[in-house]
Structure 1
């Protein structure tokens, strides 16, 4: 057994101590955490130090990795005992991270294939989180069977988020992962989405299937795949398959558009890196606003927000229409005639931020129309006027993207920041137009 596997197994065993919170008095659990912290502080060398130390711990001869991990667990434990975080969420989060790491390290003994390693982390994390939450529910007297679909949804969401963060951060950043996963699962648990056992199984199969296809077709990196799976799962459960269809239309069409005349884009120096595979930053830059809209819809539907849930539907569609318009306009328009800067109409080199072509603008309008048509066909609340609003929002957001690219990108904003602000503008235009029509 290698050192990383031994360390992961010990961390998993320590994570099992989180069961002390539902099993015994919380103060007893705090005492256990205190003992672990004290031991981590006083152990500065020797075999036990070598067993628990991350590579960076050797510089200061201190088990900072273990110390910060325990402190993060204590912070979540305080939320579970002094705030309204469900104890099951706390236990599931700690076990998820600990046993997910252990599963990934075990598989690494056989293969270094990244996608297999990530898959093993997700499976081990999912199983541990489901088991931990189920046990916590059982100890508190709740009916485990009725809570099982929500338990699986929370476990899967946490597993995908943790795997994503592990891919973009460092292995020693487990404390950040623990806090991030715990807070997300707390939010999702408060929304109490209504989902059955069959529904969550189908949702997982659909999102994982689409995610892996995007990776196999090289339209998404591993981080991009995980981001897409997580966004898709949350969209299906909190919104529905209609929302997911709108979202996946962007990922599918936008991803394939990166392959359009890829050799020509490479010659011009405007091709996406990594053979066109989009990473987590690109996916989040284009879909973060859509995710907020989905969460807003679920919160409004649950009575936490005063606005009508349909308003968030239009914000969602407007942001996706913007993402689709911007992606198609840049991926298709970049291979045609020399672009012109949107602010001055002066000819610029291909790939210049803020450069546009008439072919790209036409492709962007078509992209917004595709999103509007899908929304019109799936949502009775949209209607012809609503579809026109979504198209207008997509065009407005695409224009904002070009204007920001010509003025602020590179000096103040990065590409993902521009994408985020553009999709935000599309969402706001769509929502405001719907509100103005409703008021009039």
Structure 2
């Protein structure tokens, strides 16, 4: 057994101590605070030091990694016991055991076969069931739950465990091993927030959501339309869109990713020769996914919050229109770029001067038509599958207007600011925000 694998097992053992939280109550943070102090100031050599020491720890003569992880868990334990509205103990335990056992699972598979996808698969294979089991143990110990009550809570446990596993795997993939404290804190807080927005999840709903989003996420990776981090980001957004919105919202979201991904691959070699192809063989990373879908996700969260806190049907509907408008903008911009880049004689949107293919802010009439068609596709799906109130023509026009506005903003930013000042992902984010504001703002003005 390698030292890395042994160390991961040691951290998992420390994480298991979180199962004592129901019995310890307000003292749940005490064991981890004690471990942090011992790691930082007492354990400087011997078997325990060798078990937990990372290369940098040996140079410093103290267990910095163990101390920082224990302090992060201490912080989560305080959030779960001290505030007036604390983090649920189930979320606390799911985060700690999900991350620590997930790291162990990743190291187990990496010992035999290396690769980012294999590591993530190993992380999920052990972290997810550990997070589910940890919540079940806490529920039994804390509430003396009978079997029927435990069965009723199982879908919620699965949802929290899925959020913990996916968020931790994504953050972990983007950071270094020594950044586990960041992974723990960010994962715990996000799981707490999303769990608060969803008081209860149906068994069929969560089972279908996980099956569909994971299957489509893997397909995007296998087809080369998404990197590992892009796949994880897409699965997280998809899962939360289903649970916070509905399957109809998810279909609109996945339509963008599917059509957008295929349009990127469409005549890719020709685009490569013309110098207008996406990098990384067209595979979308997490920054690309978030640049196009972060605003849509914020709209889903806003919709869930509006429903949760009874802010009114007009506000809820406005968030729905904002969601559709942002994705219409993303679809419109993607198709206008991917289709328009195949044609000659583009013109700069600000001056209409001819520019070389691939120039930021350059547009072709073929690309503009493709963009309008893409916005209309999103509008049609949103009309059929989402609860967007109003006459069909008005709903369609409102969403298409958001899509065209976002596409135009993207081109204007490309011609004026993109490059030295802001990057492509920031431009995409601002374009989708423009689409959301146009569609959501128009809907709110009409409905209030």
Which of the five TM-score ranges fits, normalised by the shorter chain?
over 0.9
How far, CA to CA, are the matches of 2:271 and 2:130 in structure 1? Answer: 45
Q: Is 2:263 the partner of 1:257?
A: yes
Q: Among 397, 401, 404, which residue is 1:395 paired with?
A: 404
Contact 2:382 2:388 in 1 (8 A): no
| Structure 1 partner of 2:386 | 379
1:191 aligns with 2:197: yes
Work out the CA distance in 1 between the residues paired with 2:310 and 2:164.
23
- For 1:419, the equivalent position in structure 2 comes to 428
Q: In the TM superposition, what is the alpha-carbon distance from 1:59 to its structure 2 partner?
A: 4.1
Q: Residues 122-133 of structure 1 correspond to what in structure 2 (within 5 A)? A: 122-133=124-135
Q: Give distance in 2, aligned partners of 1:344 and 1:58.
A: 62
* Structure 2 Cα separation of the partners of residues 428 and 199 of structure 1: 30
Unaligned runs of 5+ in 1: none
Bigger shift: 65-74 or 297-306?
A: 297-306
Instruction: Report the equivalent of 1:364.
Output: 371
Give the structure 2 partner of residue 315 of structure 1.
322
Match of 1:164 in 2: 170
Equivalent pairs, count: 438
Specify whether residues 416 and 57 from structure 1 end up closer, same or farther in structure 2 by C-alpha distance, changes over 3 A only. Answer: farther
Change in CA separation of 1:411 and 1:20 when aligned onto 2, cut-off 3 Å: same
Mapped partners of 2:416, 2:59: distance in 1:
45
Q: Which among 115, 118, 121 is matched to residue 117 of structure 2?
A: 115
Q: Which residue of 1 aligns with 2:234?
A: 228
- Give the deviation of 1:46 after TM superposition: 5.0
TM-score by length of 1: 0.96
Q: CA deviation at 1:298?
A: 1.0
| Offset at residue 381 of structure 1 (A) | 3.0
Matched, 1:11 2:11: yes
Residues 190 and 380 from structure 1, CA distance in 2 versus in 1: closer, same or farther, beyond 3 angstroms? Answer: closer
Aligned equivalent of 2:76: 76
Deviation at 1:74, TM superposition (A): 1.0
Taking the aligned partners of 2:266 and 2:366, their CA distance within structure 1 comes to 14
1:271 alignment counterpart:
277
TM-score, normalised by the number of residues in structure 2 = 0.94
Q: For 1:339, which of 343, 346, 358 is the aligned residue? A: 346
Q: What's 1:284 paired with?
A: 290
User: For each residue in 1:389-422, what CA deviation from the matched residue of structure 2 results, as whole angstroms up to 9, or x when unmatched?
Assistant: 0001000011111111112222332111111111
Q: Could you report, residue by residue, the CA deviation over 1:267-299 in whole angstroms, capped at 9, with x for unpaired residues?
A: 122211211110000001100111111111111
Structure 2 unaligned segments of length 5 or more: list them.
none
Compared CA separation, residues 47 and 231, structure 1 to 2 (3 A): same
- 1:31 equivalent to 2:30? Answer yes
Alpha-carbon separation, structure 2, partners of 1:172 and 1:54: 9
Q: Is the 8 A contact 2:413 2:427 kept in 1?
A: yes
What displacement does 1:54 show? 2.7
Tell me if structure 2 keeps the 8 A contact 1:20–1:26: no
Change (3 A) 1:139 1:304: farther
What residue number does 2:336 align with? Answer: 329
Do the aligned partners of 2:360 and 2:411 also contact (CA within 8 Å) in 1?
yes
Deviation of the 1:199 alpha carbon: 2.0
Q: Is the 8 A contact 2:29 2:78 kept in 1?
A: no
Which whole-Å deviations, capped at 9, do the CAs of 1:108-152 have from their partners, x for residues lacking one?
222214323211211211111111111112222153222110110
The Cα of 1:40 is off from its aligned counterpart by: 1.0
| CA distance in structure 1 between the partners assigned to 2:199 and 2:275 by the alignment | 46
**Is the CA contact (8 Å cut-off) linking 2:197 and 2:305 kept in structure 1?**
yes
Deviating runs (4+, > 6 A) in structure 1?
none
State the alpha-carbon separation in 2 of the partners of residues 354 and 50 from structure 1: 57
Q: Which moved more, 1:280-289 or 1:131-140?
A: 131-140
How large is the Cα RMSD of the aligned pairs?
A: 1.6
Residue number in structure 1 paired with 2:360: 353
Partners of 2:248 and 2:261 lie apart in 1 by: 20
Which of 155, 169, 188 in structure 1 is aligned with 2:161?
Answer: 155
Asked whether the equivalents of residues 193 and 237 of structure 1 are also in contact (C-alpha less than 8 Å), the reply is: no
**397-406 or 280-289, larger mean C-alpha shift:** 397-406
